[in-house]
Homo-oligomer: A and B are copies of this chain.
Amino acid sequence: MRAALLFSAGKDSTLAGLLLEDFYDVTLVTASFGVVGPEPAREAAEALGFPHETVALDPDVAREAVERMHDDGYPRNGIQQVHEHAVERVAEGEWTDGLDAVADGTRRDDRVPTIERPFAQSVEDRFDVDYLAPLAGIGRGAIDDMAADELVVETGPSAEIPKADYEVELRALLVDEYGDGAVAEVFPDHTQSRVRGRR
């Protein structure tokens, strides 16, 4: 069976891939608005031994999300909107002949992004694929332990870890649209992880 996993080069999406690889031929897919290059994700995928693809996200979705995050003063709703769009774009599977499942690294303890059961079932119905969230029933502590055992991970402040996910792009678009201060206002400081390979 073939699964496409939304991949940011972070700890969570990588661990989701490791959980699924005994059951599916997993392709890591980085969804991008074309603002930053996919190289960090491609490098990580190669180090992990998974094939890697990119899919293009709709720039209109980015514009809407950035405006929403700025108006809200926090990123939650904008990120959720972009994540749902990314799942749908991957599920369409334009880059492949056939796909049994689309997957992501959403976790039990995250507020966003999160995929509720109705959205999952809607994706399954509309795109005729299964939607898999192998970390949805696993907490932060266990994920950290599993990653420490299996992965070489680099961590640091979001701004200093080169990643290739849509969150990096949304930050860049916020700066373009509203200036440097907007990012600090909307995104509270938080630590990012970037996977360098398997242990």
A195 to chain B, nearest CB (A): 16
A76 interfacial contact with B, CB 8 Å: no
Q: Are A145 and B117 in contact (CB under 8 A)?
A: no
Contact of A146 among B23, B109, B117, B141 (CB under 8 A): B23
CA distance A51 to B136 in the complex (A): 26
Interface flags for A102-127 (1: CB within 8 Å of B; 0: not) read 00001011000001010011001000
1/0 contact trace for A131-174 toward B, CB 8 Å? 11111111101100110011000000000000000000000000
B residues within 8 A CB of A1?
145-146, 149
In the bound complex, residues from chain B placing their C-beta under 8 Å from that of A142 are 100-101, 130, 132
Which residue, A109, A120, A132, A149, has most C-beta atoms of chain B within 10 A?
A132
A90 to chain B, nearest CB (A): 15
A106: which B residues are within 8 A, CB to CB?
137
Q: Closest approach, in angstroms, between the C-beta of A78 and any C-beta of chain B? A: 23
Query: Taking the complex as formed, is A71 at the interface, i.e. its CB lies under 8 A from any CB of chain B?
Result: no
Residue A19 is within 8 A (CB to CB) of chain B in the complex: yes
Q: Are the C-beta atoms of B145 and A100 separated by less than 8 Å?
A: yes
User: A18-B22, A22-B22, A149-B23 known; A132 and B138 CB under 8 Å?
Assistant: yes
Return the contact of A133 from the options B100, B138, B150 (Cβ within 8 A).
Answer: B138
- Between A and B, 25 residue pairs with Cβ closer than 8 Å are A1-B145, A1-B146, A18-B23, A19-B23, A19-B134, A23-B150, A100-B142, A106-B137, A108-B136, A115-B137, A120-B137, A120-B139, A124-B139, A124-B141, A130-B138, A130-B139, A130-B142, A130-B145, A133-B136, A133-B137, A133-B138, A134-B137, A135-B137, A136-B136, A137-B137
Which 6 A-B pairs give the minimum distances between C-beta atoms? Answer: A136-B137, A133-B137, A130-B142, A23-B146, A136-B136, A130-B141
